[in-house]
Structure 1
Amino acid sequence: MNLLKALTPSQKKNLIVLGLSGLLFWVSLTSLLPTLPAYIADIGGTNHQIGLVMGSFAIGLLLFRAQLGKISDQRSRKVVILIGTFVVGTAPLGYLLVDSIPLLIAIRAFHGISIAAFTTGYSTLVVDLSPPEKRGELIGYMSLVVPIGLALGPALGGYLQEGVGYEVLFTVSAAAGYLGLLFGSQITEARQDYQNEKDGKPASQEGFWQMLVSPRIRTPAMVLFIVGLVFGTLTTFLPLYVRELGIDFNPGLYYTTSAVASFAMRIFVGRASDYYGRGVFITMSLTLYTVAMSLLATANAPIEFVMAAIAQGAGGGTLIPMMIALMSDRSTTEERGRIYALSIGGFDLGIALAGPGLGALADILGYRGLFILGVTLAALALMIFLTRSSKNISHSLRFALGREKDAYRI
């Protein structure tokens, strides 16, 4: 109620249409997660080709994330949102029209642009529309479209695939994307002044590397890169790990449980972080990731996978909203899109490298060995944040434990 009172009618209207656009975007995107690999196999693709097509999503994501962040800052958040929804609606039509593996790789790479565009525009616009004192709370609520979409999309996709076939599936996915585009077009965005001075020059002129290596950005980007490796390992190898162990456990239950835990955490942590700071909740999230990977590395029964899913979902549902809030605290309006793109780009890169990079170790370490390595990586991310999140180790510890304000907050 207090949050609603803090918003103007224009802000409420924009947040509603933005949220609806976000929900439709994630439903469109995730409806193909469990179904596209089966489609590739059904048209004659080998396991290796399935991996190539699915992995090529990262090409568009990685190549265009930084450029789209720049467009978000220099032109408009709305333009980037419209690009994302247009691509997510168009790509399924491409899958429908081609049955060539090279062309599917190209379309999948094009599809990757959608998440690079939409998540950058969505997150920066949410921050722009947020009252500063309610920023964490609003980011938490608006980020709920992700777990909701992840819960609805795959279920819808699987139902359509089994019930009416791929043509209807791809058509519905495209329709959801274009409907998201329609809602996105209803956003009214106030024009920003991008000539504000920062450190004696316009922030929009700061270079990529200059921004990335700055103290306020490099630690969050490094932490997110390591967590991306952990998350990529989890999503890529969990089903194979369960099968290797011979445990009677449906991996789909893991992802469902994780989504529920993520949803629950996003409701509460945003508002709490406005009072207690972002640091303590990021520390909590990285601790939960470490616990989750430890449970998976030693798992021998279904209950241990469920407990790991709860811990990992709670950790993930806390980490991304808190990192978005932290980056918004550490950036000015005219540079926020690029800073978000750079920091979350670390997460993207980690996920992209996890499959081919850590997968090469699977034959040496085995799948349990990969998850033991995941424990080490999660613990490393935690230690980096505890010791490198502020100006020195003592300041970092106090910030990470909620005993000091963020030294880099603007």
Structure 2
Amino acid sequence: MPGGKRQKGFHISDFIEKRALPSVILGGLVFFAYGGVLTFIPMYTRSLGMGGSTSLFFLVFALVIVVTRPFVGYLFDHHGPNATVYPGFAFFSLGFILFSLAGNLTVLLLSAAVLGIGFGALAPAFQTLAVQSAPASRAGVATSTYFWSLDISVGLAAAVLGVAANAFGYPFMYGVICLASSLLGLAYYFFWRRSLS
């Protein structure tokens, strides 16, 4: 501000860190796709005759994230974000393909493991990139920007993907829309990183 005066009241910069928005958008796309799993998997597994497998799916999903997290962190710290983001999107996309084709418990749990690898690589990578994009004094705002975007993305997924599931069925929703969301994120990340070089 001119003269070093600080504006009074609330301003959008108090809640949103603009420099974190590329990472926030990418994280939002990932959580939009994940929101489809989180919201609709009970109905999906029931439609496949595996209604009792939902908790087992999330158990495998969570265990894979925990087991792979140290390896993912090492790759990010020593080889940069590309070493985790590109493989992360590959696993995330493959996981949705498997998820949409799940006809038995083995394939369903395999999709949980593959999705866990992808999600476990992408979510912390984009959070870290969001924080790194801002000055240290704005790290808290960058973090909050990232997390409110995730909440919005999961909420949008419940509304938008619900319409798609009702119109075309769950396999279409997971195999086409969620896959397209992850591929869009991959394309966005590629062009964003190229613009920084």
Quickly name the TM-score band, shorter chain normalised.
0.7 to 0.9
Larger radius of gyration: 1
Distance in 1 of aligned mates of 2:96 and 2:30: 11
1:347: Cα distance to partner?
1.8
Distance in 2 of aligned mates of 1:201 and 1:255: 51
Partner AA of 1:378 in structure 2: S
1:244: Cα distance to partner?
0.9
1:362: Cα distance to partner?
2.0
Per the alignment, residue 386 of structure 1 pairs with 190
In the alignment, does 2:180 pair up with 1:376? yes
Change (3 A) 1:201 1:343: farther
Distance in 2 of aligned mates of 1:388 and 1:210: 19
Per the alignment, residue 279 of structure 1 pairs with 82
Q: Deviations over 1:89-122 (max 9, x none)?
A: xxxxxxxxxxxxxxxxxxxxxxxxxxxxxxxxxx
Instruction: Count the aligned residue pairs.
Output: 189
Partner AA of 1:347 in structure 2: L
Change (3 A) 1:346 1:206: closer
Distance in 1 of aligned mates of 2:101 and 2:17: 40
Map 1:251-270 → 2, pairs under 5 A: 251-270=54-73
In the alignment, does 2:36 pair up with 1:207? no
Distance in 1 of aligned mates of 2:5 and 2:123: 30
Structure 1 length as normaliser, TM-score?
Answer: 0.43
1:209: Cα distance to partner?
8.8
Q: Deviations over 1:33-55 (max 9, x none)?
A: xxxxxxxxxxxxxxxxxxxxxxx
- Secondary structure of the corresponding residue to residue 322 of structure 1: helix
Q: Tell me, which stretches of 5 or more residues in structure 2 are unaligned? A: none
Distance in 1 of aligned mates of 2:43 and 2:16: 41
Change (3 A) 1:303 1:337: same
1:320: Cα distance to partner?
2.2
Change (3 A) 1:208 1:357: farther
Per the alignment, residue 21 of structure 2 pairs with 218
Distance in 1 of aligned mates of 2:144 and 2:76: 22
Say which of 165, 171, 174 aligns to 1:362: 165
Q: Does the CA contact (< 8 Å) of 1:228 and 1:349 recur in 2? A: no
Partner AA of 2:25 in structure 1: M
Change (3 A) 1:327 1:210: closer
Identical aligned pairs, as a percentage? 21
By relative contact order (CA 8 Å, sep 6+), the higher-ranking structure is 2
**Hey, which bits of structure 1, 4+ residues long, moved more than 3 A?**
208-211
1:334: Cα distance to partner?
0.8
The structure richer in helix per residue is 2
1:324: Cα distance to partner?
2.5
In the alignment, does 2:108 pair up with 1:305? yes
1:219: Cα distance to partner?
2.0
Per the alignment, residue 76 of structure 1 pairs with none
